[in-house]
Structure 1
Amino acid sequence: MTAASRIALVTGSSGGIGAATAERLHSSGAVVVGCDRTAPDERPPWLADFRELDVTDEQAVQATVAGIREDYGAIDVLVHAAGVLGEVPDLLATPSSEFARVMAINATGSFSVLREVGLVMQAQRSGSIVAVASVAAKEARHAYVPYNASKAAVLNVCWSLALTLGPDNVSVNTVCPGPVNTAMWDQLATRAGEGAPEGDQRARRARAAQIPMGRFAEPDEVAATIAFLTDPANRYLTGLSMDVAGGARLGMGS
């Protein structure tokens, strides 16, 4: 199979890492089907197709994956980038309802998407899966515990899926970004800066100073790593959790 003949499904395709990845896969010649909770006002040229999908709706996930498989004959690549940050930063201030909401989207939703696409790839005995986790999944933090815990769940599900699908010639990996210039970080920085533009910039500078490379990633830098992991030439790579974080977990940078 060549890169140009692949059918790629990208969840969270409407913005940030998902959009950058969809565009990069399209540039390699893949036919890209995007999924997100809401349709874009105008479908971008890098998406051959778009399906609205709420990943917390298990039946909708099953129907969407089955529909794409039926319409295109295969799903060769899955990039699962859909996710949310959460609303309450402090663990002791986090109600159970908020923990459950974030876990439903990031953990259970990921499980449903990965399972359904995994079944398709197992049947066709080929494929490549990359899920977007986070460096926050690999360490303890005071803040945003529902998000951190949910991304840790993504890591473990993907490791288990790599074990299960390895004999079927399916690779399963995760990328773990640090801070990225996306709407999700905008949301976090605004809260840290208490809504004031100058506070937002202070929060950004403070976080960037903790990163050895001294800056945030751009979405396309994460997309480049995802493209590498899904390239047919790299199909022997599986079970990886690759940090794309400018060294953010090194020493005091964590």
Structure 2
Amino acid sequence: MVKQSSAVKPSTDRQVTLVTGSSGGIGASVVAALQARGDVVVGADRAPLDGQDIASFYELDVTDEQQTSDVIGQVIQEHGRIDVLVHAAGVLGGTADPLVTTTEEFERVMRINATGTFTITREVANVMRTSGTKGTILLLSSVAAKEARIDYLPYNASKIAVLHIMWSMAKILGPNGISVNAVNPGPVNTPLWAQLADQSGAAQAARDARAAQLPMQRFAEPTEVANAISFLTDPINRYITGVSLDVAGGAHLGMGS
């Protein structure tokens, strides 16, 4: 753990927000957006992002159940509570064609994206309930969860699992005043999309073709996804729960998705 500040803020002051995947394209934008509104932002990822100035950073492999529990405990010990979880950690997978995707790869992607989401959501939910924190849990799914696609089946399957985790937890945690929602990005200008485009063998052509399918005719910027997350994690919007919000340039309007 890289420690940069140990100040514990009282419950009437700034929100303590844990962002997983804080070193990634969307995660780093979320960190910046939530810091700008005044949150005490704690990051967690496999490695820190050079130059990122956050309250604390914890190394985290979301497939490691014990490490996940330990990190949550350390955040509570250092900062007193967790008001918001933004779970942005995830992977695309290395094989586009489902017919040559190995079972091992399918299980790896599911373990990171789906099982990891379940584990950290459960851990944070339990500490929020124990402490009486009326907080917010925000999960990252994808518009890929909502349609049949011919590429990256493990990723797509894992992201519909994320939605089911969100829906169930929203029902379970609602009586505790805890909101649980998901944001579903479409194509975003991040390293994840760059990986997908590069694997196609014609990166720019793949980007142009994908953008042309969208009503907005362009990819989202990470800051646009972060803005939606900022809205759903604002305490004044805590009555919103069980929501799956697409940030996808109109991907499901019948003009290509």
Partner of 1:123: 130
User: C-alpha distance in 1, partners of 2:48/2:228?
Assistant: 26
Matches for 1:87-236 after TM superposition, within 5 Å: 87-125=94-132, 126-192=134-200, 194=201, 199-236=202-239
Cα deviation for residue 3 of structure 1 reads: 9.1
Partner of 2:50: 41
User: C-alpha distance in 2, partners of 1:152/1:40?
Assistant: 28
Cα pair distance change 1:252/1:122, threshold 3 Å: same
Q: Is the 8 A contact 1:86 1:102 kept in 2?
A: yes
1:85 aligns with 2:112: no
Partner of 1:75: 82
Tell me the SS of whatever aligns to 1:5: coil
Partner of 2:5: none
User: C-alpha distance in 1, partners of 2:158/2:24?
Assistant: 20
Aligned structure 1 segments of 4 or more residues deviating by more than 6 angstroms: none
Q: Is the 8 A contact 1:137 1:148 kept in 2?
A: yes
Q: Is the 8 A contact 1:21 1:226 kept in 2?
A: yes
Aligned equivalent of 1:16, options 25, 29, 53:
25
| Counterpart residue identity of residue 85, structure 1 | L
Greater share of helix residues, 1 or 2? 1
Percent identity among equivalent residues? 58
User: C-alpha distance in 2, partners of 1:100/1:29?
Assistant: 38
User: C-alpha distance in 2, partners of 1:22/1:4?
Assistant: 18
Q: Is the 8 A contact 1:132 1:175 kept in 2?
A: yes
User: C-alpha distance in 1, partners of 2:167/2:109?
Assistant: 21
Unaligned runs of 5+ in 1: none
Q: 1:30-81: CA deviations, max 9, x gaps?
A: 1000000112334x12x11100000000000000001101211110000000
Matches for 1:229-248 after TM superposition, within 5 Å: 229-248=232-251
Q: 1:164-195: CA deviations, max 9, x gaps?
A: 10000000000000000000000001111x1x
Cα deviation for residue 124 of structure 1 reads: 2.6
Tell me the SS of whatever aligns to 1:243: strand
Aligned length: 247
User: C-alpha distance in 1, partners of 2:178/2:47?
Assistant: 30
| Counterpart residue identity of residue 169, structure 1 | G
TM value normalised by structure 2: 0.93
TM value normalised by structure 1: 0.95
Tell me the SS of whatever aligns to 1:251: coil
1:51 aligns with 2:58: yes
Cα deviation for residue 91 of structure 1 reads: 1.3
| Counterpart residue identity of residue 165, structure 1 | L
1:30 aligns with 2:39: yes
Q: Is the 8 A contact 2:62 2:116 kept in 1?
A: yes
Tell me the SS of whatever aligns to 2:183: strand
Cα deviation for residue 84 of structure 1 reads: 0.1
Cα deviation for residue 4 of structure 1 reads: 5.5
User: C-alpha distance in 1, partners of 2:256/2:139?
Assistant: 24
User: C-alpha distance in 1, partners of 2:45/2:86?
Assistant: 12
Cα deviation for residue 2 of structure 1 reads: 8.4
